[in-house]
Amino acid sequence: MPDFPDFFADGFSLTVGPFGVVITFQLSQPTLEPGAHVDPGIVVARARMTPALAKALSQGLNDAVAQQATVQQAETTVRH
């Protein structure tokens, strides 16, 4: 089985077309400059997929986030 690279990203950009979707994962660079700035970041990975797969991924992520929010809510509830 081929070894796939592991990566960390703290940003992403999304490009959608009629025949494909591209998610570009980025890693921002820290800055000491005061004020707002736009840092496009360094591209660490790019995933290309069909719109159908992007829709399934979106639904899966939404379900996972909703489930995690429910778990965290239960863990942080104080009972007296």
How confident is the model at residue 1, as a pLDDT?
66
The residue whose two tokens read 């929010």 is: 69
pTM above 0.75, yes or no: no
Provide the token pair at 2: 């081929």
How confident is the model at residue 38, as a pLDDT?
63
pLDDT tens digits along 43-54: 999 999 999 999
Q: How far apart are the first and last CA of the chain?
A: 52
How confident is the model at residue 76, as a pLDDT?
61
pLDDT tens digits along 24-72: 999 987 777 776 666 678 999 999 999 999 999 999 999 999 998 887 6
The secondary structure of the chain in percent helix, strand, coil, rounded to multiples of 5, reads 30, 25, 40
Q: Decide if 38 contacts 28 (C-beta within 8 A).
A: no
- In 3D space, the residue among 40, 35, 6, 4 whose CA is nearest the CA of residue 24 turns out to be 40
Provide the token pair at 57: 């991924």
